[in-house]
Amino acid sequence: MRRLALVLAAACAAALAAAGSAAATNECKGFQVCVPVAGPWVLAPTRAETQWQLSCPKSFVVGGLDAELTTRALDLVFRAKLGSPVNPGISTSGAAVFLGRLALGSDPAASFRPHIGCIPASGGGGRVPTAAHRTFPPGTPTTVRAGQVAARAGGTRRLVRVCKAGEHLIAVSDAVGFYGATPPTRALAGAVHVGRSVAHGRVTLVVRSGAAIAGTRTVVQLDLTCAGGS
């Protein structure tokens, strides 16, 4: 119990530092022990789906989710595993992947700020198929492997990622995030330009940023969806 208390205290301190002055959200509602974790403001200005992975501290799993939106026209969901009952540790893991897109209108600064409530991991059983036919329970044939790079005002940053040995790349996405209590302005949203290339399973991300992001914590997340492996 003492070790859990120490881990929880450290995680709470880190979460408070990251959350800043976030608006009231409900990711920890209903949990006696819960660490809130707030992500950055993630740009989602088009109909194309924007993906952002937000992780809990070590030894915690996602128990609740919430988000702040700059516009009601944003469609936001998260990726969950199939299972019964639907609960933390079965439907969720130590990280949550949020999927957002602008469903209506046009707004180059449209963004969402993901929030997760993290609870101590207590394990969880899997499901066993009972049918006589050769069938399989839902599993995890793919894994999202995320990497981040901090944008540099007036400069260029580069990030290279590959799937692990034995895996193969099936999809790639990237997203720009701005940490802070308020969403990005149009000037900020337009100051970061991301380009990427894929060659033989190797993904290269190039981030070019204008002077407008000076004084802000701006990051770009690169998500590789990998299949296979162990």
Spell out the domain ranges in the chain.
142-228
Q: State the pLDDT at residue 155.
A: 97
pLDDT reading at 11 higher than 90: no
> pLDDT tens across 22-53, in order?
458 999 999 999 999 999 999 999 999 999 99
Average pLDDT over residues 167-192: 96
pLDDT reading at 62 higher than 90: yes
CB 145 within 8 A of CB 185: no
pLDDT reading at 134 higher than 80: no
**Predicted TM-score of the model (pTM):** 0.79
How far the first Cα of the chain sits from its last, in Å, is 33
Distance CA 208, CA 203 (A): 17
pLDDT reading at 177 higher than 90: yes
Residue 140 banded pLDDT, cuts 50, 70, 90? confident
pLDDT reading at 147 higher than 70: yes
Residue 208 banded pLDDT, cuts 50, 70, 90? very high
Cross-strand bridge partners of residue 69: 112
CB 25 within 8 A of CB 114: no
- Measured in residues, the chain has a length of 230
Q: Tokens representing 163?
A: 């799937």
CB 123 within 8 A of CB 89: yes
Average pLDDT over residues 125-148: 65
Distance CA 59, CA 36 (A): 14
CB 138 within 8 A of CB 82: yes
Average pLDDT over residues 155-170: 95
Query: Computed over its alpha carbons, how large is the radius of gyration of the chain?
Result: 19
